[in-house]
Amino acid sequence: MPSDILPSPELIDRTLQIENAYSISRMQVLESLPGNPVGIAFRQIGGAAVGMMAKHFPNPNFNKITGLGAGQEGGVEGLVAWCRDNGVTPRFEILPRGSDRGLCQELARLGFTVSDFHTSLIRDTAPMPRVARSGDVEEVTTPQALDEFLDAYCAGWAIPDREGFKRNVRPHWLGRDGWSLFLRREGGRPAATAKLYIRDKVAYLADASCDPVWRRRGLQLALLQRRIGAAIAAGVDFICSGAAFQSGSHRNMERAGMRVQFVRSIWTERET
Q: pLDDT tens digit string along 197-212? A: 999 999 999 999 999 9
Residue-level pLDDT at 5? 77
> Pick from 154, 173, 220: which is nearest to 228 by CA?
220
**pLDDT score recorded for residue 98:** 63
Q: Is 60 exceeded by the pLDDT of residue 69?
A: yes
- pLDDT higher than 80, residue 7: no
Q: How many CA atoms lie within 13 A of 187 on its CB side?
A: 5
- 255-267: pLDDT as tens digits: 999 999 999 999 9
Query: What pLDDT was estimated at residue 187?
Result: 85
Number of Cβ atoms within 10 Å of the Cβ of 55: 17
Enter the pTM of the model: 0.92
Mean pLDDT of the chain: 91
Residue 135: per-residue pLDDT: 65
**What 8-state DSSP symbol labels residue 98?**
T
Q: What's the rounded mean pLDDT across residues 88-114?
A: 89
Q: How many CA atoms lie within 13 A of 16 on its CB side?
A: 24
pLDDT at 131: 63
At 3 the pLDDT is 40
Q: For residue 228, give the 3-state DSSP assignment.
A: helix
CA 64 – CA 54 distance, rounded (Å):
9
pLDDT by residue (tens digit) across 32-41?
A: 999 999 999 9
The conformation of residue 74, written as its DSSP 8-state character, comes to G
Pairing status of strand 238-243 against strand 40-46: unpaired
CA angle 218, 223, 228 (to 5 degrees): 125
pLDDT tens digits for range 123-161: 999 987 766 665 689 999 999 999 999 999 999 999 999
Helix (H, G, I), strand (E, B) or coil at 233: helix
Task: Say how many residues make up the chain.
Answer: 272
- Calculate what percentage of the chain has a pLDDT beyond 90: 78
Buried b (16+ CB within 10 A) or exposed e, 238-262: bbbbbbeeeeebbebbebbbbeebb
CB atoms within 10 A of CB 44: 8
Arithmetic mean of pLDDT, 12-16: 93
Instruction: Give tens-digit pLDDT for 43-64.
Output: 989 878 999 999 999 888 899 9
Domains of the chain: 3-119+264-269 (no CATH), 134-236 (3.40.630.30)
Question: Quick one: three-class SS letters along 144-211?
Answer: HHHHHHHHHHHHHHCCCCHHHHHHHHHHHHCCCCCEEEEEEEECCEEEEEEEEEEECCEEEEEEEEEC
